[in-house]
Amino acid sequence: MAETGKGVNAGKLASNVQKRITRAQEKMMQKLGKADETKDTAFEESVANFNKQMTEGTKLQRDLRAYLAAVKTMHESSKRLQDCLADMYEPDWFGKEEMDALAEDTDVIWDDFYQKLVDSALISMDTYMAQFPEIKARIAKRERKLVDFDSARHHFASIQKSKKKDEAKIAKPLALMEKAAPGWAQGIITAHQIAQTNLSRSQAEEELGKAQKVFEEISYDLQEELPTLWNSRVGFYVTTFQNVAGLEEKFHREMGKLNQNLFDIMTKLEEQRQAKKPVKTTGKSEAAANHNATAASESDTTTPASKTDTSATTPPNDATTVTNGSSDAEVPSGVAYKVKAMHDYAATDSDELDLKAGDIVLVLPFDNPDEQDEGWLLGVKESHWLVNKDLTAKGVFPENFTQRL
């Protein structure tokens, strides 16, 4: 069984190699203008629309993921800010319990906003994009089967042409050797020639029929699906952005209420502080007056701080001498400028960079400017460059997560 399997695999491999060779020869003949190519203008237009739709969808998917990453970062920043306020808020201050509840409600709203964005936008986006690879593979298969069909068509035409030549030869007087054969043998020779020609023609015709059937089946399905997919993009975009807009509106409305509550608590806290300030009196006892006089006298004899105190006169370090936020390392050739990551960014694709707040990135120009998506930069982490002295570990990252140095 193993040997049989090897034989079958070897035969299939040889057949596939022969197909590739035949397709390459056919494409070369078509490029040289020595063979015609089957054209379908309507289908080619559908394929162009498909490629445009897939490109637009890929960009939308990437930007939506970047948006979700920004929401998550804002949630974390908001939580840290609320935690900081809770830690500073003393138990006897006005609205302590309300402050704690407000922090919890804020966290819940952020969580709800993020999760609903994932459920109603990102998941549907991923599902929408998941259909493109399979259809793209079928389009490529159709292209291969089209070449096979054209090759079989040209081969059959060639056999037809040869048959006419052979028939013309058979109609001519027999060759000397054929004339020398007995009469009954001459008939056999003629019949054999005709049978050989008909066999070749029959095989070529059968191959053409098979190739045409496979090609037309694939084409028919794609001709039905591609226009439907192209038209579906409008409804998908409408639904996606309606969901995002609706969730944003609800989020900001609920967050606005919490922000108003926070503002009111801060206002009442300030009113409480003002109410607890001591009131100045005009009548003082003699002892209080003496105490004040003594305190004033002691304050007059106190030696003031020296003007030469370096802690009071030394200016802070001049930050303008730091050119890149981390070091004065030489910038490698080809680097446009540097940026500093202001927020963490978790890469969602293999061509993206992971960033931590504070990372310095060397920004590089794109090899092909058309490949740059709006709002995205290409670069290499400065830490990688300093260690490895190469710019191969480059990736894209959202520009709005960084600040130019």
- Domain ranges in the chain are 40-274, 324-404
- Mean pLDDT in the chain? 78
Band (392; pLDDT cuts 50, 70, 90): confident
Tell me: pLDDT of 208 over 90.
Answer: no
Quick one: average pLDDT of 114-143? 93
Which CATH architecture best describes the domain 40-274?
A: Up-down Bundle (1.20)
pLDDT, mean of residues 161-167: 61
pLDDT digits (tens, 9 = 90+) for 103-128: 999 999 999 999 999 999 999 999 99
Q: Which is higher by pLDDT, 244 or 368?
A: 244
Least trusted range by pLDDT, from 228-242, 253-267, 298-312, 368-382: 298-312
- pLDDT score recorded for residue 27: 63
* pLDDT for res 104: 93
How many Å apart are CA 177 and CA 15, to the nearest integer?
40
**What are the pLDDT digits (tens) for 57-83?**
999 999 999 999 999 999 999 999 999
| pTM greater than 0.75 (yes/no) | no
Sheet containing 337-341: order of strands? 395-398, 376-381, 360-364, 337-341, 402-404
Q: Burial-class residue 222 by CB neighbours within 10 Å (0-12, 13-18, 19+).
A: buried
Average pLDDT over residues 378-394: 91
How many angstroms separate the CA atoms of 184 and 190, rounded? 10
pLDDT of residue 148: 78
Residue, of 4 and 16, whose pLDDT is higher: 16
Q: Which CATH architecture has domain 324-404?
A: Roll (2.30)
